[in-house]
Structure 1
Amino acid sequence: MPFSGITGPFNAITDVAGVEVGYSTVVSDSLTSGKGPARTGVTTILPRGRMGPLRAPVWAGFHSLNGNGEMTGTHWIKEAGYFTGPIAITNTHSLGTVHQSILRWMIGKPDTGVGPYKFMLPVVGETCDAYLNDMNAFHVTADHVTEALDRASSGSIAEGNVGGGTGMICFEYKGGTGTSSRVVDFFGSRYTVGCLVQANFGIRPLLKILGVPVGEHLTANRLWAGEQGSIIALVATDAPLMPTQLERVARRAGLGIGRTGTPAGDGSGDLCLAFSTANLTISESAIAPAVGDLAFLPNNMLDPLFEATAQAVEEAIINAMVAAETMVGRENRLVAAIEHDAVKEVMRNYGRLKA
C-alpha cells in the first residue's frame, strides 16, 4: 500500500542507530493452580543498546492523547526532560513486575563510566490483554523481562503476536506490536524517525487505512460495540532536539494514531513518548546530564520530522495488524487476523493499492 514517506532499510524503530528491541513472548495453555491461559509477554527498547552507556540520559518528551493507562517515569520526563535506561511495554497487571525487574537488571550491570546509581525511574507502559490473557495470573516474571532485555538487538524485528503485543487486539482484529520508520533530509543532513507501537485499541467501523474506510466494509468477526483498549506509541529519532521539541514530536504521534480512525475514546490509554539519541552526555552522576552544550534544530524547521512521525506511527499500527495471526485465548475466545485479500480488494476499489 502506498504509505507516504521514505522508510529506513528495516522500516523499523531500529533504523535509528543504536536502538535495540527485545521480546519475551509468553504463550501457554498447560497451567495449574487455577491460572488461566497465557497470551502475553514483554517488549523492551534500549535507546543506546545493551552494550552502550545504559546510564547516560536520553532526552525525551511525553504526550497523553487519552490518559486511561499508565506509563511510569513520565512525571520526571515532564519535569526534567530525560530518562535513563530501557523502556518496556507489557500488560496492565504486569507493569509492577516489569518495573522492578528492569531495576534489578540495571543494578546488575557494570559501571559504564557514568557513575553509581542514586535512584532510577524506569519507563514502563502497559495495555490490557485481558480478553485473551488471564492477567490476574501474573504470567510475566522477572525471567521474562531479563530474557527480553538480554535478547535486544538491532536490525529487522518481529511484529504482530510478539512480546507485550502478544495478546493485544486492534480494531477488533488481532493486533500487537508494530513498527515503521521514515528518513528525512534537511539542513544538509539525513535524520531518521522510528516508531514502535503496542496496538490494542479501536472498533471496526472506524478503521481507516490511508483514509479508506476499510472497517465499514470488513464486518466479519466483530467483538464489541464500544471503543476500548489502548495504544503505546514510542518514537525514536537521531535528530538533535530539546525536550520541549520532543514533546511536540510526541503530540504528532497522536496524529498518526488518529489517521487510523480512532477518536481516542474514554476507555483508551493512548500514551506517546518521543526520545532522541543525539546529544549523548556522560556525567559523573547517574541522575543528571553533564553540564555542556546542547545541539538542537530550530523550531521553525521541524515540520519534516512532524510529518515523518505521523507517517511512521500510522503505518506501524497497520503493520501490527497485517503481521498478527489469529489467536484463541482464555475461555476459547477467538480474535481473527485481518484478512489480507479482503483488505487489498477494498483498497483496490478505492484506487489506493499499488499495482
Structure 2
Amino acid sequence: MSSYPLSPSRRFDLICGSLEPGPTNSISDVNGVSVGHKTMRRGEVNTGFTALLPHPGNVFQEKLSAGVEIINGFGKSAGLIQVDELGTLETPILLTNTFAVGSGVNALIRQTIMKNPEVGRTTGTVNPVVLECNDGYLSDIQAMSLTESDAIAALDAASPEVEQGSVGAGAGMSAFGFKGGLGSASRVFELDGGRFVLGALVLANFGRSGDLILPDGRRPDPKELQSSEERGSVIVVLATDVPLESRQLKRVAKRAGAGLARLGAFYGNGSGDIALAFSTAQKVLHQEERDFVDRRCLNEDRIDILFRAAAETTQEAVLNAMIASPAMKGRNRHERPSLADWLQDTSNQL
C-alpha cells in the first residue's frame, strides 16, 4: 500500500501514474484554493452546488490567468467564451446541474456587485463562470430546486478540506454505470529547485457502462450494471501555483482529456467534456495603471511535467468521485451502484 495520502482510490491500491501526491491529495494543496458544497436531498431531488474559490481575496479586482479546453462541447456552461478570449478568471467557479446555471450566474453577479459596487456602473460588467452536468437520471432536474441562496451557501462553506463523493454538485451524478460525483487529487513536482503543485477538481457524470478501465487493468462487466450511454458530461478544473500564461494553461487543460481517456472515455456526441485551468502564481489587476506589465511564465520546454500531472490528477479525481460515492436510489427508482462496493466484492472473491 502506498505511503502517500490515502485518497478513496488509494485505499484500494489504485495508483494513477507515478508523480507524488500533495499533502492532502486534493486541489486545496494549491495554496489559497478552497472548496465548499451545498447539497440538496428532498424527495426525488438529489442535486447541489459546489463552489471553488481560487484565492481568498477579491477575485474581480485580482484576476488569475486561465485557459479553457472544450473537449466535447455538448454543454450549457456560462463564462467560457470570455475566459477563452481574455485568458483570465474573475469570479469563483460554481459547479451544478444543467438547469441551475442561471441561479449560479445570478449569485456570482450579486456577490461581485456587493464587493465591487462599481461593477456595471463605472467599470465593466463581470464574467461569472458556472459549469454544469445533467444529473436528471438520479434527480428531478425539472424541479429547478436550486436558488441563488444555495449557490451563496456553497461559496460561504468553502474551506481547504475538500469533501468528495455524492456532495454538492455531485449529489445526483453518474459515471460508467456507477454512482458518480465530486473528486479531487493533486501532484507535486520540482522546477528550478522549487516545489510546485497541480490539483484537479472533477465533476464526474460521464462514461458508458462497461467502458471503465481501472489503473490495474480490471474492467467491470457491463452485465452487472444498468445500461448508460456516453452522454452525461464531465467538468475538470485544474489549479496550479506554477506561473503560466493563458495559452499555456489552455495546453495544460487539454491534457485532462488524457486522464479521461485512460479511464475508457471516448467523448461521446452527447457528453459535455470541459476542462478549465488557472494559475494562482500572479494576479492580473483590474485597475492596472501601467501600459506594460511584467509577468513570469514557464519555459515551454519544461511544461511536460504539468501535462503529466494534469492527466494523473484527472484520472485519480474521477476514481475518487466514484469510490467516495455510496450506492444510490434516486428519481423514479433509478439506481446506481457504488464502485467501492464492486471493488470490495471483487477483493473478497480473490
TM-score when normalising by structure 1: 0.88
1:313 aligns to 2:309 (yes or no):
no
1:105 aligns to 2:106 (yes or no):
no
Match of 2:16 in 1: 3
Q: Which runs of 5+ in 1 are unaligned?
A: 30-36, 350-355
Tell me how far apart the structure 2 counterparts of residues 323 and 229 of structure 1 sit (CA, whole Å).
Answer: 19
Residues 67 and 269 of structure 1 are in contact (CA less than 8 Å); yes or no, is this contact kept in structure 2? yes
Match of 2:143 among 134, 137, 140: 137
1:332 aligns to 2:337 (yes or no):
no
Match of 1:33 in 2: none
1:121 Cα deviation (Å)?
Answer: 0.9
Tell me how far apart the structure 2 counterparts of residues 9 and 348 of structure 1 sit (CA, whole Å).
Answer: 33
Match of 1:58 among 39, 43, 64: 64
Residues 322 and 340 of structure 2 are in contact (CA less than 8 Å); yes or no, is this contact kept in structure 1? no
Match of 2:287 in 1: 284
Residues 326 and 340 of structure 2 are in contact (CA less than 8 Å); yes or no, is this contact kept in structure 1? no
CA-to-aligned-CA distance 1:238-294 (integer Å, 9 cap, x gap): 000011100000000111111110111111000000100112233426xx9984101
Tell me the number of residue pairs that the alignment of Structure 1 and Structure 2 aligns.
Answer: 334
Query: Residues 153 and 141 of structure 1: is their aligned pair in 2 closer, same or farther, counting only changes over 3 Å?
Result: same
1:44 aligns to 2:51 (yes or no):
yes
Tell me how far apart the structure 1 counterparts of residues 146 and 107 of structure 2 sit (CA, whole Å).
Answer: 10
Query: Residues 289 and 233 of structure 1: is their aligned pair in 2 closer, same or farther, counting only changes over 3 Å?
Result: farther
Matched to 1:57, the amino acid is K
Match of 1:294 in 2: 295
Match of 2:172 in 1: 167
CA-to-aligned-CA distance 1:60-115 (integer Å, 9 cap, x gap): 11111111113221111221111201011100011111111111122112679xx9
Matched to 1:39, the amino acid is N
SS in 2 for 1:205: coil
Match of 1:262 in 2: 265
Alignment of 1:68-79 (within 5 A): 68-79=74-85
Tell me how far apart the structure 1 counterparts of residues 345 and 199 of structure 2 sit (CA, whole Å).
Answer: 26
Tell me how far apart the structure 2 counterparts of residues 122 and 330 of structure 1 sit (CA, whole Å).
Answer: 30
Match of 1:234 in 2: 237
Tell me how far apart the structure 2 counterparts of residues 254 and 311 of structure 1 sit (CA, whole Å).
Answer: 10
Residues 282 and 290 of structure 1 are in contact (CA less than 8 Å); yes or no, is this contact kept in structure 2? no
Tell me which moved more, 330-339 or 255-264: 330-339
Residues 112 and 126 of structure 2 are in contact (CA less than 8 Å); yes or no, is this contact kept in structure 1? no
Tell me how far apart the structure 1 counterparts of residues 348 and 321 of structure 2 sit (CA, whole Å).
Answer: 18
Residues 104 and 151 of structure 2 are in contact (CA less than 8 Å); yes or no, is this contact kept in structure 1? yes
Match of 1:185 in 2: 190
CA-to-aligned-CA distance 1:154-197 (integer Å, 9 cap, x gap): 1x311110011110001110011000000011211111000000
Match of 1:124 among 121, 130, 136: 130
Tell me how far apart the structure 1 counterparts of residues 177 and 150 of structure 2 sit (CA, whole Å).
Answer: 27
Matched to 1:307, the amino acid is R
Match of 1:81 in 2: 87
Residues 283 and 289 of structure 1 are in contact (CA less than 8 Å); yes or no, is this contact kept in structure 2? no
Match of 1:204 in 2: 209
Match of 2:27 in 1: 13
Query: Residues 293 and 268 of structure 1: is their aligned pair in 2 closer, same or farther, counting only changes over 3 Å?
Result: same
Tell me how far apart the structure 2 counterparts of residues 261 and 10 of structure 1 sit (CA, whole Å).
Answer: 26
Q: Could you tell me the percent identity over the aligned residues?
A: 36
Query: Residues 293 and 111 of structure 1: is their aligned pair in 2 closer, same or farther, counting only changes over 3 Å?
Result: farther
1:53 Cα deviation (Å)?
Answer: 4.8
Matched to 2:323, the amino acid is V
Matched to 2:244, the amino acid is L
Segments of 4+ moved more than 6 angstroms: 346-349
SS in 1 for 2:75: coil
RMSD: 2.3
Tell me how far apart the structure 2 counterparts of residues 111 and 290 of structure 1 sit (CA, whole Å).
Answer: 25
Q: Which runs of 5+ in 2 are unaligned?
A: 1-12
Residues 197 and 241 of structure 2 are in contact (CA less than 8 Å); yes or no, is this contact kept in structure 1? yes
CA-to-aligned-CA distance 1:301-329 (integer Å, 9 cap, x gap): 10111101100000000000000011121
1:25 aligns to 2:39 (yes or no):
yes
SS in 2 for 1:191: strand
Tell me which moved more, 102-111 or 197-206: 102-111
Match of 2:343 in 1: 342
1:212 Cα deviation (Å)?
Answer: 1.0
